[in-house]
């Protein structure tokens, strides 16, 4: 008789949930990384713009050029602020998904422990049955020899 865990389907379901939660966490972390990359790109763009302004200070620039530079700088700052808010939201999502993964992992661990305990009990009972069978065989052999002696 082979061991079968009565909660195996639940364990498999929880394992699938855990895997799905891990995949969702990975996607959220990639989105977080994309936002961080965009913030770094915006910082570099603003730094380039400031360097251009510093180099151009000794030259007389047209008012339209100055206006364009200021508008672009304002756009970069606004984009940066929007991305900072998106970063905070994404960090919260990542934490929530990380918490979900931990909860799924814990529920799987509980079921795994129950499975181990059930398997241990099953094998202990199997050993006891095997021992009883061996005892019966030994007794049968012993009584058979006793009958042959008389």
The tens digit of pLDDT for each residue in 60-83 reads 778 888 888 889 999 999 999 999
Q: Residue 141: inside a domain, yes or no? A: no
Q: Are 42 and 80 in contact (CB under 8 A)?
A: yes
pLDDT at 149: 67
Q: Residue 120: inside a domain, yes or no? A: no
> What Cα–Cα distance (Å) separates residue 143 from each residue in 14, 39, 74, 147, 150?
54, 88, 102, 6, 11
CB neighbour class for 18 (10 Å; exposed up to 12, middle 13-18, buried from 19): buried
Instruction: Label residue 150 by pLDDT band (50, 70, 90).
Output: low
- Predicted confidence (pLDDT) per residue in 25-65, tens digit: 999 999 999 999 999 999 999 999 888 888 877 777 788 88
pLDDT at 98: 96
Q: Residue 150: inside a domain, yes or no? A: no
pLDDT at 83: 96
Q: Residue 102: inside a domain, yes or no? A: yes
Q: pTM score, two decimals?
A: 0.73
Q: Residue 130: inside a domain, yes or no? A: no
**Number of domains comprising the chain:** 1
Q: Residue 45: inside a domain, yes or no? A: yes
54 Cα distance to chain centroid: 47
Q: Residue 43: inside a domain, yes or no? A: yes
Q: Residue 145: inside a domain, yes or no? A: no
Dist CA 88 CA 4 (whole Å): 47
> Which residues span the domain enclosing 92?
8-111
């Amino acid at each position: 008789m082979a061991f079968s865990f009565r909660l195996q389907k639940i364990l498999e379901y929880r394992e699938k949930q855990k895997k799905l939660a891990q995949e969702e966490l990975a996607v959220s972390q990639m989105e977080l990384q994309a936002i961080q990359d965009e913030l770094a790109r915006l910082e570099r763009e603003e730094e380039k713009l400031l360097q251009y302004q510093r180099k151009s200070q000794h030259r007389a620039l047209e008012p339209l050029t100055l206006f364009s530079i200021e508008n672009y700088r304002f756009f970069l700052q606004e984009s940066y602020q929007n991305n900072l808010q998106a970063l905070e939201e994404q960090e919260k999502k990542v934490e929530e998904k990380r918490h979900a993964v931990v909860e799924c992992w814990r529920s799987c661990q509980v079921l795994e422990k129950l499975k181990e305990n059930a398997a241990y009990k099953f094998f202990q009972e199997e050993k006891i049955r095997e021992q009883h069978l061996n005892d019966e065989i030994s007794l049968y052999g012993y009584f058979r020899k006793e009958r042959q002696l008389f």
